[in-house]
Amino acid sequence: MLVSSKSNFHREKYLTQSRLFHELVRDVEEVRMWISEKKALVGSEDFGDNLATVAGLRKKHDMLWKDIDYHEAKGQLLNERADKLIAEVSTESNSQLIGCFFDRRNA
């Protein structure tokens, strides 16, 4: 009975870490998609051909900077979550999850 309880505890802990890992991967992928979308916008060479168009592009530019500020903070939080998860998993002998995490993080 004691072995089973200890085994269940470890299983639950690993499942929680796995859930946190996959949530982190999902959130990182969302940020990567956002970056890809914004690269296309930033790479545009449309500078407007009249005053109204330039004003609209300027407004979009200002909104982009606000969006960048938000996502920069989100990126910092993701890094903190990743570091915390690495530290938690590293203290245990869960090398499979660590390997998977580093493969995804360095991709």
Q: Enter the pTM of the model.
A: 0.70
Residue (of 67, 66, 61) closest to 47 by Cα position = 61
Rounded to a whole number, what is the largest CA-CA distance in the chain?
A: 78
For 64-98, letters b (16+ CB in 10 Å) and e give: eeeeeeebeeeeeebeebbeebbeebeeeebeebb
Structure tokens that stand for 67 in this block: 């969006």
Mean pLDDT over 12-38 rounds to 90
Band (pLDDT 50/70/90 cuts) for residue 1 is very low
| pLDDT tens digit sequence for 32-58 | 999 999 998 888 899 999 999 999 999
| pLDDT tens digit sequence for 72-94 | 999 999 999 999 888 887 665 55
Query: Which is more confident, 71 or 102?
Result: 71
Judge whether residue 102 has pLDDT over 90: no
**Residue 43: strand, helix, or coil:** coil
Q: Which residues contact 96 (CB under 8 A, 6 or more apart)?
A: none
- Tokens 């982009």 found at: 64
